[in-house]
Amino acid sequence: MRPIFRLAARCALLAAGTLAVTHARGQDPNSQARLDSLEARMRRLELRINRIDPDPRSQTRSAIESGRFGGFVLADNKGVSLEIGGFVQFDAIHDFHRTSNHDAFQPSSILIPNDHKTSTSYSIRQTRFNFIGTIPIGKNSLKTILEFDLFNPDGSSVPRLRHAWGEYGRFGAGQYWSNFMDIDVFPNTLDYYGPNSMVFTRQVQVRYTQPVGEHTKIAVSLEKPSGNITLPADSGYASLQQLPDAVLSIRHDWGTGNHIKLAGAFHPLTYETPALDRKSAPGWGVNLTGAFQLPNKDNFVYQAAYGEGIANYLNDIGGNGYDAIYHSPEKKLNTVPALGLMGFYDHWWSDKWSSTVGWAYLTLKPKAYQPPADFNWSHYGVGNLLWYPNGFMKVGIEYLYGYRNNIDGMNADNHRLQLSAMFKF
């Protein structure tokens, strides 16, 4: 709670009330009755401005990404509230080998062949701000989320939309985390991208969530078509977004910080020829995720994802055309099998110090006719030491290791050191 803000608001109201009462006393002998009425109106109009002091665990990466880190809350006496939150983050990044992505650690961006030259970059692009509104309507509340960061795809620090989401009761619609992913298994890293193999994407969607018992819920969503396929160059063939992705998930929670989630996705892929003929290939995938909290409050998160034509959902290679590859002799679009595994352990040395270690592996089963320089598989490893001096700051140093292997066997790796400081508001 921030007394300074409440004090300022009340002082402003008191000043206004004092002027009104002074005027009333000069004009009307019944000023006391008017004063009582004015004070009652002021109480009805007064806003509560709260700020809950968060504990260090509210600054973990999964808590931040899922919006549990909190902000300044403006609320009236009828339960209507607006939460304003976010943080400023500074990153100092040093790469020991050449990479094309200097702001986030992405093994697929490691250059092959690699001349092992070093580079250093500074960034504030992880900086983020958001607005969360809540309005009680009937038996439920209408909740809206609007969030931006500075990680613009064009390399600039122009604000970029992350979430534009609304939900009422069991229905939700807008742009939010895909139902196929599990944001609660994001390891506590400083790196922006996170594990190469993680199913990680925001989708425009409509979703319905149905509780099944006290600790289990089923969610079904129709999400924006997002097929990313490779078609013959200069052929006139075009990728189409014809049918939405359909995702079904079930999640069970128990105890404190424990859950397991299983999600399945149907991901139709369609292209059109210059003659306006349309052909499709079915993409599909399953994703098993979960988190376990140990008695000492350490926790372990994991993911095992497999499918054909789901590369666009995977963190390291989404958007690179690996959902499916067109084979001209067969005149057929063939989906590419993909496997993503990861496991990360968060250890708390104390309430103010923590470390995360873990590994992730991503592999594709390439087609014989793919270019030899295409991506085949990659590794992602991380270890860090983080300090939480108070509930609004996080400072840490992180070591990252990445390895990329192409279809032709050519490979390269990269070592990165990242020093970051986060300041919440």
pLDDT in tens, 302-359: 999 999 999 999 999 988 899 999 988 888 889 999 999 999 999 999 989 999 999 9
Distance CA 333, CA 323 (A): 10
Pairing of strands 324-327, 229-230: parallel
Contact 30, 21 (CB under 8 A): no
Distance CA 192, CA 173 (A): 26
Distance of alpha carbon 74 from the chain centroid: 25
What's the mean pLDDT in 216-237?
A: 89
SS3 365: coil
Which range among 178-182, 291-295, 381-385 shows the weakest confidence by mean pLDDT?
A: 291-295
SS3 10: helix
pTM of the model: 0.85
Q: What kind and span of H or E run contains 19?
A: helix 3-27
What's the mean pLDDT in 44-58?
A: 61
Distances (CA, A) of 82 to 58, 156, 214: 19, 29, 29
pLDDT in tens, 406-417: 999 999 999 999
Binning pLDDT at 50, 70 and 90, where does residue 15 land? very low
Which range among 273-282, 371-380, 404-413 shows the weakest confidence by mean pLDDT?
A: 273-282
What's the mean pLDDT in 243-271?
A: 94
> What φ, ψ does residue 142 adopt, rounded to 5°?
-90, 120
List the one residue out of 230, 201, 234 whose CA is nearest residue 321.
230
Q: 353-392: string of b/e by CB count within 10 Å (b at 16+)? A: ebbbebbbbbbbebbeebeeebbbbbbbbbebebbbeebb
pLDDT in tens, 66-120: 877 667 777 776 788 888 889 999 999 999 999 999 999 999 999 999 999 999 9
Binning pLDDT at 50, 70 and 90, where does residue 280 land? confident
Distance CA 354, CA 345 (A): 11
> What φ, ψ does residue 59 adopt, rounded to 5°?
-105, 10
Which position has the higher pLDDT, 136 or 35?
A: 136
List the one residue out of 165, 256, 231 whose CA is nearest residue 203.
165
CB atoms within 10 A of CB 394: 25
Percent over 70 (pLDDT), the chain: 86
E strand residue ranges, 26-80: 48-50, 72-75
pLDDT at position 142, please? 95
pLDDT at position 52, please? 58
Q: Cis omega (within 30 of 0) on the bond before 29?
A: no
Binning pLDDT at 50, 70 and 90, where does residue 55 land? low
The answer to whether residue 386 scores a pLDDT higher than 70 is: yes
pLDDT at position 350, please? 92
